[in-house]
Structure 1
Amino acid sequence: MPITFGPHECGSPDREWLVTDGLGGFATGTVPGLRTRRYHSLLTLTDPVTADRRLALAALDLTVTLATGAKVPLYTHEWESGAQAPRGDRYLESFALVDGVPRWRWRVGDVVIEREVAMRHGHPGVAVTHRVVSAAEPVGLAVAVMCTWRDAHDERRAGDGPLQVSQVADGVMVEDAYRVAGPSWQPGGGWHLGAYAREEAARGLPATEDLWHAGTYVDRVSPGDVMEITAWGGDLSVRPPAATAVVAAARTRAQELIATAKAEGSAETLVLAADAFVVRGADGPDVVAGYPWFGSYLGDTMTAYEGLFLDTGRADEGRELLLAHALREADQIAEPGGPWAPRSSPDAPLWLVHAVDRHVRRTGDTELAARLVDPLGKLLRRRLDLDPADGLVRLSTAASWMNGYTEDGPVTPRTGKPVEINALWVNALAALADLTAEAGRDDTELRGGHARARDAFRARFQAPEGWLYDVIDGPAATYPLGAGSRHDDPSLRPNQLFAWSLPHAPLTEGAGALHRIGAALLTPLGLRTLAPTEYGYQGEHRGGRDDRDIAYHQGTVWPWLIGPYADARAALGLPVDDLFTGLEAHLNEWGAGSVSETADGDPPHRATGSPFSARSVAELLRVIRKA
């Protein structure tokens, strides 16, 4: 079903849209067209080798000239002065996401104009169409091309030097990196100074840049006709297909993705959302963790694997990804307990084992099991530090998926034996034993190791509060309530869910604990990372970088955690049917057709972080299809 916003919602800059090219490049912005982030553009290109992103085409500013001669701008910008001008967003009649293609519809009296934006899958470029839907007679359309060329995470100012611009017959070539083409080109020139991005200011980051007006496309368009503009990178000498053809192909591809996945209802929307994160780089398939600022991370990729690939009918593509990652990671040397680094977590190889296990279980691909048993075993031996006393995994640094970090150090230190790491470890040992058996080899040692780790988990992680410890055997100095040389941390967090949710989970009982977890952590958009009654709880995930990192895992809601929570409930025979209502409704708001990375811990749980999150989409899709 299309996602549609009416005139009132079209004015909200909190609602964002996204289209992608399957290579890591994308176009994204707000529904009213206001550029509130440094990342908002109609074309951001990804280097095929380094995966670095550069922002290219910032905007196409549309103005309509009516039969009376009146010129009506249909675009909007915010400026460093605080002004928002012009206010073309006030003429928006609707915004719709139809088969993954965003469509804006402006009305000025009896004149109706629609814009659609699509990207050609597997090619670095964007297509933009402007259709005059209704008018008593032809109208004039002028589209100003606003350019830059910079790292996607930075800003460019006029003082940084001029853009290298070459005029060509149908438009302009910028920095020999991208080209813009369309009808009736009128060269321009000059900087528009002080474009302001309010979301960057709210995050405590530089918020002002300058945009280069390269020129304007001018055309007189009759009702029913279309004005087409295309921008692309790569081989600039080869012009892409017509913009209308690219839009039509994008719709057809979306319908094929849904048919392949055999999806219905909200799963259709989630299948299209999932497609945005699956990209092809120099080494084959990969996963972008989130848009518009995240790259690829092993832990995120493998956590999202089942939803992105197995629940969308992309198992062959997924197999290629698993082979590449497993073989590459196994060949890399990593010291157990090595230096902590942001966004690096020891759970990543454990999630890789889980992903391979799920792939083999769901597809019957025993050949993959035989190929990857040894590399996966090698990877775990190199990456994990085991306590010889009980066979559980210990962390000698603060690293975990809870990786908020300030200049004072990690916000959520989990040195010791974290509950989710060890639940994943127990699961990985059983999974490796099964994969070894699939390969026709002796699995006795792995079975023994699994039994030992499982029994140690069961004996050590039960907390007197009625749930599981978040970390055991941690240094007392790390925890405010610690006493003695070691400390077991009973903070009520969602990490313990994996003790029940995984296929080879260490626990098979615990309905009482799960009720306590749900009562304290469950929200309409997922689970809080810390109970509101706990020391250090942060109910809002906002402000500068340190403020956001402090709150990141101290109460902030993570939608992807709905997956392990639903699995844990199902494993204990509890219903899951009523868990997804809020998240399904969320598809119609912040990141249109997608699921956000995070949300505030306090009601009404306003979305935060990345508007388009791979793990959030993948886990919601997986459990909806499983329910």
Structure 2
Amino acid sequence: MSYLRFEKALMTNLEESLSRELLRTNRSGAYSCSTIVDCNTRKYHGLLVVPVPELDDDNHVLLSSLDVTVVQHGAEFNLGLHKYQGNNFSPKGHKYIREFYCEKVPTTIYRVGGVLLKKEVVFQHYEHRILIRYTLLDAHSETTLRFKPFMAFRSVNQCTHENNTASRDFQMVDNGIKTCMYAGYPDLYMQFSKANEFVFVPDWYRGIEYPKEQERGYSYVEDLYVPGYFEMNIKKGESIVFAASTSEIKTSTMKHLFDKEVDDRSPRDNFFHCLVNAAHQFHNSANKTERYLLAGYPWFKCRARDTFISLPGLTLSIDEQDYFELVMKTAEKGLREFMQNKPLTVKITEIDQPDVLLWAIWAIQQYAKSAGDEKCISMYGKLISDIICYIIDGKHPNLRLDTNGLLYANGHDKPITWMNSIVNGKPVVPRSGYIVEFNALWFNALKFGAKLAKQNNNETKANQWEDLAESCKQSFVRTFLNDYGYLFDYVDGNMMDWSVRPNMIFPVAFDYSPLSPEQKKSVLDICTRELLTPKGLRSLSPKSGGYSPVCSGANRDYSYYQGTAWPWLGGFYMEACLKLYKRTRLSFIERQMVGYEDEMIINCLGTIPELFDGNPPFKARGAISYAMNVAEILRTLNLLEKYSYVK
């Protein structure tokens, strides 16, 4: 029995099946994504979605979908599904689905009368090529398959409409065609492992709707171009492989290639393996020398802060230290270019945010736990020292070390923390001044840096940083701890933000904290009472002004950080629990993990979305797969295992 399996009753119920999405990636920036019934509900959905760097930094939908029709005795049974105006679905191919499961690769079984057809899908690693294998499991008479491609050739941020500019030209290639709708785009190759007939019947299918975009307040209607259809006979027991790609493939190799790609996949047969699979989907190799982590799908790029927060969980927690080192090698290049005020040559955005350097040290600190201090010093000792000295010397454009030992950053006019939503050009949450997690990170960095410096026989630096850490500690408690036992979110002159927010969990969770055990417990207790949900920590307490727990529609930018729940924050909360209460909290944290395991079959299969509503039923929102969330759940599972064996 597969871990991810759905029977006919769920698949044919569109209220249930349309909310479940499926993501496949190639680890080079391209992806394939739709619902489990192959009905696209987002403009980001598509069978082949690829970056086109010659045009812009966006991904582009080349092939939106592929309708398959079973033909027997002249009768046609179309297995496709599209949503049109007025809540009309056509051609309602979902009614033929008998079951769906996703162990190694997504597999759908269709029954049309006496015909039993299996469809399996895989995205070739490091190539912009989607492969689909159709196997006729059973048939009592001659069977023909007809394939109709729906093409878009547009950015994921737009919708396309019928026009006279789109090229209808195509060329025959080995068992298929190649075509390109607009100048500047790569050719789209559509090929089969078997000889077939292509019938040129160009037409536009008008008024296809994407309800997820309508829900988000964006344009949601588009027209898709269909150049014609491919047709071929298929015998009982026979398999046919279809490939859509930006490069031609030798069709005689397609069946072997499909088998090879399946063999390379790890099974998604439990919660942990699903998360490992999701972790690998964030891998991005722009070229042979650079490795990145995407912040999420389907619309996020590689962001600096997300990279360093995600990196330990997505690599070290699943024993993939080598990929940590590859990503950090690329990231270190970017960090040094930034600190040296050179043009950035790596594809990492927001590297100038003031807390990024501090999160980089935190990530390296987790590496030291896995690889040992000696190797950490060898690999990253100089980088840590250079970062700390860079900050102390006042070289960061928006990070000032004050005489009280605290770091000050200006966030009045531009968001500078992870709470970065903007409305009318201004931050919704204008966190500025002494920001609580910045200074918790700073204290932690100083103490960790001093420890490594001492082990490396650099007593001068070790002592200097220890003195700075002591100054930071005294000022931190004096500045942030209030009479109610929790921490101000930020302090700017006489302005103290009394909002109960989750950023105060970081000094409780970090290895080095300026807080005493009693102060940590007080902060943790308030986080538990006011912020904890089954889906992570709320971004704002319901008792604080402006609480808005539902992030949807036109007002989502306002509510993004005003009460929504974030699983990655829950990871630091769990770590804080374990550090303070050790094994006595194991069963509590295990129950929290059950809330995340439920998500494996509810939204995007086998992964964790970006955020959830802050109130029951805690509906998923935002990106369908989010790196920091997957990372922190994996890190929590790893911590659980370690504490379970501590006597």
Q: How does the TM-score come out when normalised to structure 1?
A: 0.90
Could you tell me which of 303, 313, 332 is aligned with 1:307?
313
| 8 A Cα contact 1:558 1:597, kept in partner | yes
CA distance in 2, matches of 1:244, 1:565: 48
Partner of 1:35: 40
| 8 A Cα contact 1:115 1:131, kept in partner | yes
Could you tell me which of 140, 143, 159 is aligned with 1:139?
143
Could you tell me which of 51, 58, 76 is aligned with 2:81?
76
| 8 A Cα contact 1:458 1:506, kept in partner | yes
CA distance in 1, matches of 2:164, 2:351: 31
| 1:426 counterpart = 2:443 | yes
Mark the CA change 1:246 to 1:446 in structure 2 (over 3 Å): closer, same or farther.
farther
CA distance in 1, matches of 2:442, 2:300: 27
| 8 A Cα contact 1:360 1:369, kept in partner | no
Could you tell me which of 373, 376, 396 is aligned with 2:384?
373
Alignment of 1:148-547 (within 5 A): 148-159=152-163, 161-163=165-167, 165-169=169-173, 170-175=175-180, 176-182=186-192, 183-186=195-198, 187-233=200-246, 236-239=247-250, 242-255=253-266, 265-282=270-287, 284-332=290-338, 345-364=353-372, 365=375, 366-377=377-388, 380=391, 381-383=394-396, 385-398=399-412, 399-407=416-424, 409-442=426-459, 443-473=462-492, 486-509=494-517, 510-544=520-554, 547=555
SS of the counterpart of 1:188? strand
| 1:593 counterpart = 2:606 | yes
Partner of 2:566: 558
| 8 A Cα contact 2:8 2:97, kept in partner | yes
SS of the counterpart of 1:274? helix
Deviation at 1:106, TM superposition (A): 1.7
SS of the counterpart of 2:285? strand
CA distance in 1, matches of 2:557, 2:533: 21
Mark the CA change 1:601 to 1:344 in structure 2 (over 3 Å): closer, same or farther.
farther
Amino acid at match of 2:9: H
CA distance in 2, matches of 1:504, 1:140: 67
Mark the CA change 1:490 to 1:426 in structure 2 (over 3 Å): closer, same or farther.
same
CA distance in 1, matches of 2:366, 2:85: 51
SS of the counterpart of 1:515? helix
| 8 A Cα contact 1:106 1:114, kept in partner | yes
Deviation at 1:615, TM superposition (A): 0.8
Deviation at 1:387, TM superposition (A): 4.4
Amino acid at match of 2:441: L
Deviation at 1:82, TM superposition (A): 4.2
| 8 A Cα contact 1:172 1:214, kept in partner | no
Partner of 2:344: none
SS of the counterpart of 1:320? helix
Deviation at 1:323, TM superposition (A): 2.2
Mark the CA change 1:84 to 1:342 in structure 2 (over 3 Å): closer, same or farther.
farther
Mark the CA change 1:146 to 1:414 in structure 2 (over 3 Å): closer, same or farther.
same
CA distance in 1, matches of 2:243, 2:223: 22
Deviation at 1:375, TM superposition (A): 4.0
Amino acid at match of 1:25: A
Q: Deviations over 1:13-39 (max 9, x none)?
A: 111001111101000001121111111
Alignment of 1:5-154 (within 5 A): 5-10=6-11, 11=14, 12-47=17-52, 52-66=58-72, 68-80=73-85, 82-99=87-104, 101-154=105-158
Deviation at 1:8, TM superposition (A): 3.4
| 8 A Cα contact 1:345 1:401, kept in partner | no
| 8 A Cα contact 1:278 1:308, kept in partner | no
Deviation at 1:138, TM superposition (A): 3.9
Amino acid at match of 1:592: L
CA distance in 1, matches of 2:61, 2:389: 40
Q: Which moved more, 1:17-26 or 1:70-79?
A: 70-79
CA distance in 2, matches of 1:584, 1:281: 32
CA distance in 2, matches of 1:368, 1:591: 37
CA distance in 2, matches of 1:358, 1:86: 52
Deviation at 1:43, TM superposition (A): 0.6
SS of the counterpart of 1:578? helix
Mark the CA change 1:102 to 1:439 in structure 2 (over 3 Å): closer, same or farther.
farther
Q: Deviations over 1:157-208 (max 9, x none)?
A: 2227213642213222232433111241413322222221111111111112
Mark the CA change 1:20 to 1:240 in structure 2 (over 3 Å): closer, same or farther.
farther
Q: Which moved more, 1:13-22 or 1:354-363?
A: 354-363
CA distance in 2, matches of 1:250, 1:437: 48
Q: Deviations over 1:288-313 (max 9, x none)?
A: 11111111100011110011111223
| 1:577 counterpart = 2:603 | no
| 8 A Cα contact 1:494 1:529, kept in partner | yes
Amino acid at match of 2:451: D
* Unaligned segments of structure 2, at least 5 residues: 181-185, 342-348, 641-647
Mark the CA change 1:53 to 1:227 in structure 2 (over 3 Å): closer, same or farther.
same
Q: Which moved more, 1:139-148 or 1:158-167?
A: 158-167
CA distance in 2, matches of 1:322, 1:160: 48
Mark the CA change 1:457 to 1:228 in structure 2 (over 3 Å): closer, same or farther.
same
| 8 A Cα contact 1:500 1:508, kept in partner | no
SS of the counterpart of 1:324? helix
* Unaligned segments of structure 1, at least 5 residues: 259-263, 336-340, 475-485
CA distance in 2, matches of 1:589, 1:160: 41
Deviation at 1:433, TM superposition (A): 2.4
Mark the CA change 1:429 to 1:117 in structure 2 (over 3 Å): closer, same or farther.
same
Over the matched positions of the two proteins, sequence identity in percent amounts to: 26
CA distance in 1, matches of 2:89, 2:350: 37
CA distance in 1, matches of 2:639, 2:260: 30
| 8 A Cα contact 2:101 2:108, kept in partner | yes
CA distance in 2, matches of 1:243, 1:561: 44
| 8 A Cα contact 2:361 2:384, kept in partner | no
CA distance in 2, matches of 1:88, 1:548: 34
SS of the counterpart of 1:431? helix
CA distance in 2, matches of 1:441, 1:265: 47
| 8 A Cα contact 1:127 1:230, kept in partner | yes
Deviation at 1:620, TM superposition (A): 0.5
CA distance in 2, matches of 1:537, 1:244: 55
CA distance in 1, matches of 2:447, 2:511: 9
Deviation at 1:48, TM superposition (A): 6.6
Deviation at 1:379, TM superposition (A): 5.3
Deviation at 1:321, TM superposition (A): 1.6
CA distance in 1, matches of 2:488, 2:164: 53
Q: How does the TM-score come out when normalised to structure 2?
A: 0.87
